[in-house]
Amino acid sequence: MNDPNDTVGLARRDWLKTACLGGAAGFLASYPAVAETTAVPAKKVRGVVFMVSDGMSPGVLTLAEAYSKLTRKRGTCWWQLINERSSSRGLMDTASANSMVTDSAAAASAWGGGQRIHNGAINTDPTGKAITPIAALLKQSGSARIGLVTTATVTHATPAGFAASVPSRGSEDAIATQYLNRVDVILGGGSAFFDPKIRSDHKDLSGDFEKAGYQILRQRDELTASASEKLLGTFTRGHLPFSIDRDRNPKLAARVPTLTEMAQAALSRFLTGDQPFLLQVEGARIDHAAHLNDIGGLLGEQLAFDDALAAVLEIAAGRDDILVIATSDHGNANPGLNGMGAGYSESTQHFERIARFNASHERIFAEWNKLKKRDTEELSALITNHLQLSLKPREIEALYEILNERKVVEWNHQLVKPEGLLGQFIGNHTGIGWTGTTHTTDPTLITATGPQSARFAGMVKNSDVFGHLMEMLG
């Protein structure tokens, strides 16, 4: 097919040389600078990097752009990518087989198996029949290399949608087993699902991976030092910590790699040789922060994802055979900045308060649960300490009551839970509103750059992604 990118390939590489590099520069030094040649990129795609900002409502891009300028004095890479004329831009139609609102399992299965299925399942159709995932198909048909990188457990729904088939997304033990010799580079959280002491079948899956030639990684420095081609890196028992918490905790930062570091480690292993490759890189916890109505946590995760996107684009910019796609599987709680004050004149100053937050809601709730004395005073102090906000006494009272499972006035069923109420009260100070605490039906953004990126322009049905990937890599 004709690829409009071919005529503007040099422009694409040019802007990549100067844009998006702030967060990734430290990891890019080992890559050669882009050659100034007159060659146009080849149309053949050797590898695809499929980048997923999980649960990213379209409005998050606007908030992340403003937040990046506020806290880092530069915009985001994804914003620039959309503005780049050689990029293709589209919207992803995200429904599942049984709902207008998909979960991550059905969404990733649509991408990785080519069919819309019911929420909760991974590549298993509504009759219970397993659908072969794209990683297995690419492995069967040749020497393709497969990578899964995520900030969730590596066996979570979104990575699993590319490489596993199970009736229920919760079967993470079984998902882990299916990755053996099917996925070459596995990086993220979730050591529990490879651990004989924790797995329900007590199988030493980690040992099985080691015997099959994988290097087992548990620490960030092991990843940095590794030269192995096959990697199983699980750096925490469950999900990786939120960036807002990790970045303020030297112990965590020393132990847990960033999404950028993991993405770069994975992609660098696929660059030599000529085998096709498919690498999924997921910023998983954007979704988790949205469920918690946690705007500080969400924006921290989105910027961490954007750094990873910048690092991947920098590597791709030096080549003509890598297609990079950035998208999301579904919206979640649709955060947005409301007009605040007379004539909306106070919106910006409200938004700027988010920059003072120093902990995720996950951490705030965890600290609350550990407190010996739990009263309204302690609750108010905890919120002031982490968010630099003074909630009104009535807000603190309502939050305290709901934390103690007492009935509060049910203005909105979605929001009658601690995270929903806290999100609403914080919104009084920041201007950020949420539609609820669950996924939404909005189409998501899909932006692509590189050979054959035109496939992903316009309205893209989630289940059509599979066919495109198979045509390019199969």
In the complex, the residues that contact Zn ion under the rule CB under 5 A are 55, 287
Whole-angstrom Cα distance, residue 412 to residue 399? 15
Nearest of 9, 136, 111 to residue 446 by alpha carbon = 111
Our CB check for Zn ion shows the closer of 55 and 436 to be 55
Please state at what angle helix 376-387 crosses helix 361-370, rounded to 10 degrees. Answer: 150
Whole-angstrom Cα distance, residue 398 to residue 192? 37
Least distance in Å: CB of 313 to Zn ion? Answer: 26
Least distance in Å: CB of 329 to Zn ion? Answer: 9
450: left (phi over 0), alpha (psi -120 to 50) or beta: left
Least distance in Å: CB of 392 to Zn ion? Answer: 30
83-87 CB contacts, 8 Å cutoff, 24+ apart: 84/11, 84/12, 84/15, 84/449, 85/8, 85/11, 86/4, 86/5, 86/8, 86/9, 86/11, 86/12, 86/449, 86/453, 87/12, 87/447, 87/448, 87/449, 87/453
Our CB check for Zn ion shows the closer of 55 and 276 to be 55
Least distance in Å: CB of 279 to Zn ion? Answer: 22
Least distance in Å: CB of 440 to Zn ion? Answer: 10
Least distance in Å: CB of 55 to Zn ion? Answer: 5
Our CB check for Zn ion shows the closer of 55 and 296 to be 55
Strand pairing class (336-337; 145-153): unpaired
Our CB check for Zn ion shows the closer of 141 and 168 to be 168
Our CB check for Zn ion shows the closer of 394 and 413 to be 413
Residues 54, 328: contact at Cβ < 8 Å?
Answer: yes
Least distance in Å: CB of 291 to Zn ion? Answer: 6
Our CB check for Zn ion shows the closer of 55 and 114 to be 55
Question: Encoding tokens for residue 185?
Answer: 């580079």
Whole-angstrom Cα distance, residue 308 to residue 64? 14
Our CB check for Zn ion shows the closer of 282 and 287 to be 287
SS3 content of the chain, % helix, strand, coil (to 5): 45, 15, 40
